[in-house]
Amino acid sequence: MDNKTIARKLRLLSQLMELHEGNPFKIKSLVNAAFKVDKLPFPAKSKSAAELEKIEGIGKSTANKITELLETGTMAELEEYLEKTPQGVIEIMGIKGIGPKKVAVIWKDLGIENLGELFYACNENRLVEAKGFGLKTQEDIANAITFSMASHGKFLYSQVRTQADELIDQLKGLFPEGLIDCAGEFRRCCEVITKLILVVGSRDLEIAINTLKGSTVLNELSLEKNHILGRLPVGLEVDIVCVEKRYFYMELFVQTGDEHHVKAVLERSTDEVDQPTGEDLIYKKSGMEYIFPELREGVTFIKKAENNTLPKLIGHHDLKGTLHNHSNWSDGINTIEEMALFCRDELKLQYLGMCDHSKSAFYARGLSAEQVLKQHVEIDHLNKKLNDFHIFKGIESDILYDGALDYPDDVLASFDFIVASVHSILKMDEAKATSRLIKAIENPYTTILGHPTGRLLLSRKGYPIDYKKVIDACAANKVVIEINSNPLRLDLDWRWHQYALEKGVWLSINPDAHRKEGFLDMQYGILAGRKGGLYKEKCLNALTLEEIKAFFDHLKEEKQPKTPAS
Ligand SMILES: [Zn+2]
Ligand SMILES: [Zn+2]
């Protein structure tokens, strides 16, 4: 074991001690010793404990620890601390700029146990008000996490979108006839991107590479056969495939769809299409409608394309309102009025559903029953004031461990609609998680099932559920399923949208906004919905204000017990 490794282990021990509020003197002497060992001009392993002890700044107790480390490969005390610290918290400690004191606040006060949860909390602005943090620290942490994700080579779509779009825009202007387009995961709008593939209709690699050098968002250029490789500033790998002009569309088609899709289409081809002048011709020759890139996953939509029954995919202009959003009544940043005005004036929407957290979500300042009443008074007041716009009274009710909702029935009955979500005790087996959700779905007050699995992409798997059982229960109980549009969630996963739609379940593109800008996340929900084959007729927030009022009224009428006349 070299000095650097020893120093690192001593430092880790000191950090863990600090995290667990150990003796400050011991912590300080370990920090000093780590520094000293790191700088020793000879290997520590060449010395005995007695010799180490004599070195200034090491001392007896640390000398013994080093000897133990050299002999056994570890230290009993370190192992003890590791045992009582979640692995994810140790990873958080590895993020640049977060010392043990901050990690303690993150873990113990905010209940965050891994990098994904921390990233999510930064996006929801949850760190700003915590002790010792501020806006700047929060931003630094979010950036550091993005950087550490880059080392795994995987990115959220939202993390690479701006740079990828910029690159393509720059290059479109540079290549003659604009024969350049994106392909692969990015063109299919996948939720996670591992490589940005571009196709260029030029075999003159000299010209191509010189042109590519003109881009300010492409680094580390290199050449490999007909591929030009590079990297976006954010760290994503870029692969640019150069083909002769006449093969451009075929290559674009092949590079866009996943393997099963490409194979299924080409198998059905009636004659040679090696030099098509557009992708639509490739589908035509195979006897099918043009399939949008988002849908080119597997064979799900092949039959529909053959029968001319592809869904007319949902688009931005189809959305008429937004449900499931938070204000400063719980853990949001903006007031209800600010949120409403942004929706009305900037986004040209007709309605806003407020869904602050319910009382069990103490970490998010969930609303007590009294606060709910007060909030309703404020909403009534705003509804009188705002022209051509309506705010619905909703709540994001925690689904408790036994599947119950978070308020007594009379409070639940006072809302226009309710989003029911799991936020606590996420560690469950599939049977438990499924029955917990189904119990909540069967509650007559539940309108929408929020982020059904609790996953955070690239970091937290979410609890395992039996998707079919959960979706079937939603169908049976007329519960809408959310497509949570936060780019870290995108939950319900698009792979289950078709099953839900076949069962007649409505989906809702919910931003879960915690500030005005959060509404813009709806764009990612739309992409997820498009990938799942969602169309406006089954999207809850594509209903107009009048339609959705009738929808909520009808559900209440049908599902909720009648309140006895007083
Ligand atoms: Zn939630
Ligand atoms: Zn929420």
pLDDT on residue 564: 58
| Distance from chain centroid for Cα 519 | 15
**How many C-beta atoms lie closer than 10 Å to residue 416's C-beta?**
22
Angle between helices 59-72 and 3-19 (to 10 degrees): 120
C-alpha 546 – ligand 2 centre gap (Å): 25
C-alpha 357 – ligand 1 centre gap (Å): 8
- Cα 48 from Cα 71, distance rounded (Å): 11
C-alpha 360 – ligand 1 centre gap (Å): 12
| Distance from chain centroid for Cα 208 | 35
pLDDT on residue 563: 64
Calculate ∠ Cα 297-508-468, nearest 5°: 60
pLDDT on residue 194: 96
Neighbours of ion ligand 2 (CB under 5 A): 396, 512
If phi > 0 it is left, if psi is from -120 to 50 it is alpha, else beta; for residue 21 that is left
pLDDT on residue 120: 87
C-alpha 554 – ligand 1 centre gap (Å): 25
C-alpha 138 – ligand 2 centre gap (Å): 20
Amino acid of residue 268: R
What are 395's strand-pairing partners? 356, 418
C-alpha 194 – ligand 1 centre gap (Å): 27
The per-residue DSSP string of 306-375 comes to: HTT----B--GGG--EEEEE--TTTT-SS-HHHHHHIIIIIS--SEEEEEEEBTT-GGGTPBPHHHHHHH
pLDDT on residue 59: 86
C-alpha 451 – ligand 1 centre gap (Å): 7
The per-residue DSSP string of 212-252 comes to: HTT-TT-EEEEEETTEEEEE-TTS-EEEEEE--GGGHHHHH
What are 196's strand-pairing partners? 238
Ligand nearest to the CA of 453: 1
Ligand nearest to the CA of 451: 1
**The CA-based dihedral angle spanning residues 137, 141, 144, 146, taken in that order and rounded to the nearest 10 degrees:** -130
pLDDT on residue 566: 46
| Distance from chain centroid for Cα 51 | 53
| In the block, residue with structure tokens 């010392």 | 99
Tell me the Cα Rg of the chain. 28
Residue 529 CB-density burial (10 A; 0-12 exposed, 13-18 middle, 19+ buried): buried
| Distance from chain centroid for Cα 187 | 19
Residue 198's SS3 state is strand
Amino acid of residue 199: V
C-alpha 481 – ligand 1 centre gap (Å): 13
Q: 391 Cβ partners below 8 Å, 6+ apart?
A: 336, 340, 351, 352, 353, 354, 379, 382, 383
C-alpha 154 – ligand 2 centre gap (Å): 26
C-alpha 355 – ligand 2 centre gap (Å): 7
Question: Taking the alpha carbons of 179, 180, 183, 188 in that order, is the dihedral positive or negative?
Answer: negative
Calculate ∠ Cα 77-80-86, nearest 5°: 135
Assess whether the previous peptide bond of 457 is cis (omega < 30° from 0). no
What are the CA-CA distances from residue 65 to residues 38, 48, 323 (Å)? Answer: 15, 12, 57
**How many C-beta atoms lie closer than 10 Å to residue 148's C-beta?**
15
Eight-class DSSP state of 140: H
pLDDT on residue 365: 86
The string of pLDDT tens digits covering residues 276-312 is 889 999 999 999 999 999 999 999 999 999 999 999 9
As a whole number of Å, the end-to-end CA separation of the chain is: 79
Contact indicator for 128, 174 with CB cutoff of 8 Å: no
pLDDT on residue 535: 98
Residue 229 CB-density burial (10 A; 0-12 exposed, 13-18 middle, 19+ buried): middle
Calculate ∠ Cα 6-8-9, nearest 5°: 65
C-alpha 250 – ligand 1 centre gap (Å): 43
Low-confidence ranges of the chain (pLDDT < 50): 566
pLDDT on residue 447: 98
